Structure 1
Amino acid sequence: MPNVPHPHLAALDPEGRLYNEDLAPSTERHWHSYNYFAVWMSAIHNIGTYTFVAGMFALGLTAWQVLLSLAIGITVLYFGLLLAGRMGVETGVPFPVMARLSFGIWGANLPALVRAVIAIAWYGIQTYLASLAVVVLLLRIDPGLSSWQNRSFLGLSLLGWACFLLLWLLQMFVVTRGMEAVRRFQDWAGPLIWVVMLGMAVWLFSQANWHLPMNRSVQPVKGGAPLAVIGGAFLLVATYATMMLNYCDFTRFGKDKKAVRFGTFWGIPVNFVAFAAVSVATTVGALTVFGETITDPALIIAKVPNTGVLVVGAIMFIIATVGVNVVLNFVSPAYDLANIWPKKITFKRGGLISAVLALVVMPWKLYSSPVVVNYFLGGLGALLGPLFGILAVDYFLVRRGHVVLDDLYRVDEGGAYHYSRGVNRTAIAVFVPTAVVSAIIALVPAFSSAAPFSWPIGVVLSGVAYRWAMRRAAASSRQTSVARVVAPQTVDALD
């Protein structure tokens, strides 16, 4: 159902520079606990999560150590999401509008664009990676398709193009129908991948004679196991930091706080730990059976001597990719781009623009470039910690949850979030240096041992600095107000 119009908000912004119905506070609050549970199943049950888990074995950790690391990271992620979710359910506004609180009505475009660029790039990359899995499976089913692999266009084989466009179109079919279509798709898409992962784990378990060596590692741990365990935990948090930043895009539709809290609990601590355990068991099983760490579950399915299983596996991975991309990489840029030009760009148009850009940037070339992935996207990802620190501290400590909703859509100087020409210079002054510090820690080789902690360091530095800076700004404002009151009285007394 569409959002109900807000005539009084539209009247505050007659030119449509800050308001449209998609950016207005949500009035249709009917997402229940299961909807959020399903959202997190879609976000977690994907190739990327399995690849992350398998990659932790490459660090030299044992299965038990990987599980411990994941449990710590999941716990941190859960409590961060509770904060982000509460902001959405209490205000009903999407992430770019929420950012107006701390960055100003125009300054909010900075965090929105950072989030949008990351999402659009990974939207394309995730689609490309999943298309590779489909290519492998199709070649296994019909080796005659290999002739399509020998011809290419713009750096991608014709078979690769066919698989990529198939996934791209399937995602477009879902996302161009709005948030309600997203909700309905997540309700059934998330659980399906469990069938594949559980089946794959059981098959590997049987091939390993029903014994998995949980204490086995592939190499010695560099820097010690405790540091690797904690580092892996925060790498997991950083992986989902994008969703933590814009979780209010989903929780704004929550029936109440309980629905959001309960659904997030079952989706993160319960479901994520269970899926992590299955992923660990699958990775250990593959290592035991094939003698190597296989980071792509589609390659494991390709080894199953059953064509029917291959077909089902391909379909499941397509659904999983659509699910994770919709949750993590579509909803946010749709709102973020709408925030730039609300009069012309709605949620659906923003989503369409995002999907087209994800195709135009040719993600197969982005992913093949270490400079782009590690420095450009990695550097942008390092900015998420400082952004979350500023937004959370502003909402919970500076404002203590008090928001003047109407002023989020006021373009005149009388609005509480107009600041200086629509920009909170304090937030910018805090964000820039803390973002630089986070990026340096994440990208400079000399700080490689601290790189996994760039996100929490960014959160703490920006949060503390923002709290101090806003207190100082408030004190300076009070002094100025007192001076303006006292000065005329002094003049009168002299007269």
Structure 2
Amino acid sequence: MAHQLPETTSAPTLFTHSHPQGIDPSNPHELSASLYNEDLAPTTRKGRTWNSYSIFTLWANDVHSLGNYAFAIGLFALGMSGWQILAALGIGAILLFALLNLSGFMGEKTGVPFPVMSRIAFGINGAQIPALLRGAVAIAWFGIQTFLASQVLSVMVIALAPGAASLQQTSFLGLDTLGWICFVTLWALQLVIVSYGMEMIRKYEAFAGPVILVTFLALAIWMLFESGFNVSMTTGESRSGLDMWVGIFGAAALWVSIYGTFVLNFCDFTRGASSKKAIVRGNFFGIPLNMLFFGAIVVVLTGTQFSINGAVISSPSDVVEAIPNTLLLVLASGALLILTIAVNLMANFVAPTYALTNLFPKKLNFRTAALISGVIGLVILPWNLYNSPEIINYFLGGLGALLGPLFGIIMADYWIVRRARINVMDLYRTNPEGTYYFTRGVNFRAVAALVISSVVALLLAFVPALHVVGPFAWFLGSGAGAIVYLLMAKRRIDLADIDGEAIAVTPKH
């Protein structure tokens, strides 16, 4: 059963107060079934399988997502030179490297997923707020990214079977028949992968990483030959002086904000990390080095295409569609599909799955929660969301703006207020004397800090007069969350540092 509590032969003395009728022999650690199941439990030290390569391939996939390429290519189209784009990505990469290590170390120390980690700052019940906010953003983007991937699959199908184009003449609920077939196929494939848990996701990322790197390197080399090794570093008159530096730092800040989701719930992955060294090494090769490689690919793809016909591509898929050989086009499109699935699984599937498991730990395990997340991602008809600028900007944009304040609050509480001293056992107890019980299970100081700092974040996101500082919205929102929380946080707290090895579970899938 997903909610079965671990059995031990003797009751440890980790919890200072006793059960009213003595300690229950079947639950010697006094854990609550409303807070604990095998998927929310800490991971055992010996059972952790995420090494440096695992974390590197996580970034090898995500950094090279089509969305990231569209963003970086957009900088080229806005007048930034190739060298300025590389500088922006380099600065952003250094900032991300630091932020992801801070977030990742939390998962390595405690072994718990993000919803449980949120209990430290928000309380055992209040943690539902950050978990559901993060999950809601992710589940919508899961559907949207699956839809975008299905469009690539449609191109592949028509290239192999031109007669399939006739399936695009009929539609249902806003999507043509071929689109439905491709969407449901990719949707089901992702559900199968994620149903086998985090270990299968790790294996898929490890497989996809090299495929993606080789594919984009091959595309860049092909374009170099097509252009006669002529790479335009600018579309014309590039920025200079103060305007140049504002553009560089603004682009770097936006690059970091793209990863606002990941820096928040990176512990979902590093809870399986073998050591802090594995996190640092994986992040180093996966973030600074890999992002510079990514930047070089962007410069080559855009610069060579511009030198050929004076046009700026919008995505690497533009290059793929121009490949004259059908077999090579299909292979390249297949690689883009592998990439999109890899990004979707880690960025948009894991978070809502853990959020739902945390919401109903007695009823759901990782597999059933993943299935429910997938079904929601289907029934929201994501192609209609994608085609609605209002929903993207106001609903998803508004929810996304709240992730910065959440990050600031959680980091300030963990590293400054608690000095990284965590009683992991109390994260699963409903006893009012527990460290994270606060007031009826909610830390209202953290909730108040979130409300106040969210106002700042939303104003930055939606008030046109503040567009000048818009690129720095994530940093400003995160900083506001941290400052407000530090001003309000209770200082006299229990700083017991107790690991959760006694209740830890070795992942079985």
TM over 0.5: yes
The answer to whether 1:174 aligns with 2:229 is: no
Q: Assess if the C-alpha contact under 8 Å between 1:12 and 1:411 holds in 2.
A: no
The answer to whether 1:244 aligns with 2:244 is: no
Partners in 1 of 2:245 and 2:27 — Cα distance?
Answer: 55
Question: Alignment partner of 1:414: what SS?
Answer: coil
After superposition, the C-alpha distances for 1:169-211 in whole angstroms (9 at most, x for unaligned) are: 2211210111111111111111101222111111211121111
Amino acid of the structure 1 residue aligned with 2:129: L
After superposition, the C-alpha distances for 1:103-160 in whole angstroms (9 at most, x for unaligned) are: 0000000000000001101111111112222223433444332211111111011111
- For the structure 1 residues 157 and 48, does the alpha-carbon distance in structure 2 shift closer, same or farther, using more than 3 Å as the test? same
The answer to whether 1:26 aligns with 2:15 is: no
State TM-score, norm by structure 2: 0.89
Q: Assess if the C-alpha contact under 8 Å between 2:456 and 2:480 holds in 1.
A: no
Partners in 2 of 1:47 and 1:222 — Cα distance?
Answer: 31
Amino acid of the structure 1 residue aligned with 2:40: L
Partners in 2 of 1:296 and 1:150 — Cα distance?
Answer: 26
Q: Assess if the C-alpha contact under 8 Å between 1:115 and 1:332 holds in 2.
A: yes
The answer to whether 1:68 aligns with 2:122 is: no
- For the structure 1 residues 294 and 141, does the alpha-carbon distance in structure 2 shift closer, same or farther, using more than 3 Å as the test? farther
CA-CA distance at 1:266 after TM superposition: 1.1
Look up the match of 1:447: 466
Gapped regions of structure 2 (runs ≥ 5): 9-25, 495-509
Look up the match of 1:95: 114
Q: Assess if the C-alpha contact under 8 Å between 1:57 and 1:218 holds in 2.
A: no
Look up the match of 1:254: 273
Partners in 1 of 2:286 and 2:270 — Cα distance?
Answer: 14
Bigger shift: residues 237-246 or 159-168? 159-168
Amino acid of the structure 2 residue aligned with 1:171: Q
- For the structure 1 residues 231 and 308, does the alpha-carbon distance in structure 2 shift closer, same or farther, using more than 3 Å as the test? same
Q: Assess if the C-alpha contact under 8 Å between 2:3 and 2:33 holds in 1.
A: no
Amino acid of the structure 1 residue aligned with 2:42: P
- Please show how residues 385-464 of structure 1 align to structure 2 within 5 Å: 385-464=404-483
Partners in 1 of 2:479 and 2:290 — Cα distance?
Answer: 28
Question: Alignment partner of 1:166: what SS?
Answer: helix
The answer to whether 1:130 aligns with 2:149 is: yes
Partners in 1 of 2:95 and 2:42 — Cα distance?
Answer: 28
Q: Assess if the C-alpha contact under 8 Å between 2:145 and 2:344 holds in 1.
A: yes
Partners in 1 of 2:433 and 2:315 — Cα distance?
Answer: 55
- Residue among 374, 380, 384 paired with 2:403: 384
Q: Assess if the C-alpha contact under 8 Å between 1:3 and 1:26 holds in 2.
A: no
Identity %: 43
- For the structure 1 residues 138 and 100, does the alpha-carbon distance in structure 2 shift closer, same or farther, using more than 3 Å as the test? same
- For the structure 1 residues 329 and 417, does the alpha-carbon distance in structure 2 shift closer, same or farther, using more than 3 Å as the test? same
Q: Assess if the C-alpha contact under 8 Å between 1:197 and 1:279 holds in 2.
A: no
After superposition, the C-alpha distances for 1:222-281 in whole angstroms (9 at most, x for unaligned) are: 992222211111111111110110110111111111111111111111112212211221
Look up the match of 2:139: 120
- Residue among 72, 93, 100 paired with 1:81: 100
Look up the match of 2:379: 360
CA-CA distance at 1:365 after TM superposition: 0.5
Bigger shift: residues 143-152 or 365-374? 143-152
- Residue among 322, 332, 347 paired with 2:341: 322
- Residue among 214, 226, 241 paired with 1:195: 214
How many equivalent pairs are there? 474
Partners in 1 of 2:370 and 2:241 — Cα distance?
Answer: 43
Partners in 1 of 2:238 and 2:163 — Cα distance?
Answer: 39
The answer to whether 1:280 aligns with 2:302 is: no
Partners in 2 of 1:13 and 1:116 — Cα distance?
Answer: 29
- For the structure 1 residues 221 and 133, does the alpha-carbon distance in structure 2 shift closer, same or farther, using more than 3 Å as the test? farther
Q: Assess if the C-alpha contact under 8 Å between 1:204 and 1:289 holds in 2.
A: no
Partners in 2 of 1:425 and 1:442 — Cα distance?
Answer: 25
CA-CA distance at 1:10 after TM superposition: 5.6
Look up the match of 2:6: 6
Q: Assess if the C-alpha contact under 8 Å between 2:3 and 2:37 holds in 1.
A: no
Partners in 1 of 2:107 and 2:468 — Cα distance?
Answer: 35
CA-CA distance at 1:406 after TM superposition: 1.1
Partners in 2 of 1:81 and 1:439 — Cα distance?
Answer: 24
The answer to whether 1:139 aligns with 2:139 is: no
Q: Assess if the C-alpha contact under 8 Å between 1:36 and 1:264 holds in 2.
A: yes
Amino acid of the structure 2 residue aligned with 1:87: M
Look up the match of 1:234: 253
After superposition, the C-alpha distances for 1:301-349 in whole angstroms (9 at most, x for unaligned) are: 1111101111101211111111001111111111111111111111112
- For the structure 1 residues 15 and 99, does the alpha-carbon distance in structure 2 shift closer, same or farther, using more than 3 Å as the test? closer
- For the structure 1 residues 165 and 289, does the alpha-carbon distance in structure 2 shift closer, same or farther, using more than 3 Å as the test? farther
The answer to whether 1:210 aligns with 2:237 is: no
Q: Assess if the C-alpha contact under 8 Å between 1:238 and 1:455 holds in 2.
A: yes
**Alignment root-mean-square deviation, CA:** 2.2
Look up the match of 1:486: none
- For the structure 1 residues 53 and 10, does the alpha-carbon distance in structure 2 shift closer, same or farther, using more than 3 Å as the test? farther
Partners in 2 of 1:219 and 1:345 — Cα distance?
Answer: 55
- Residue among 325, 332, 337 paired with 2:351: 332
CA-CA distance at 1:423 after TM superposition: 0.5
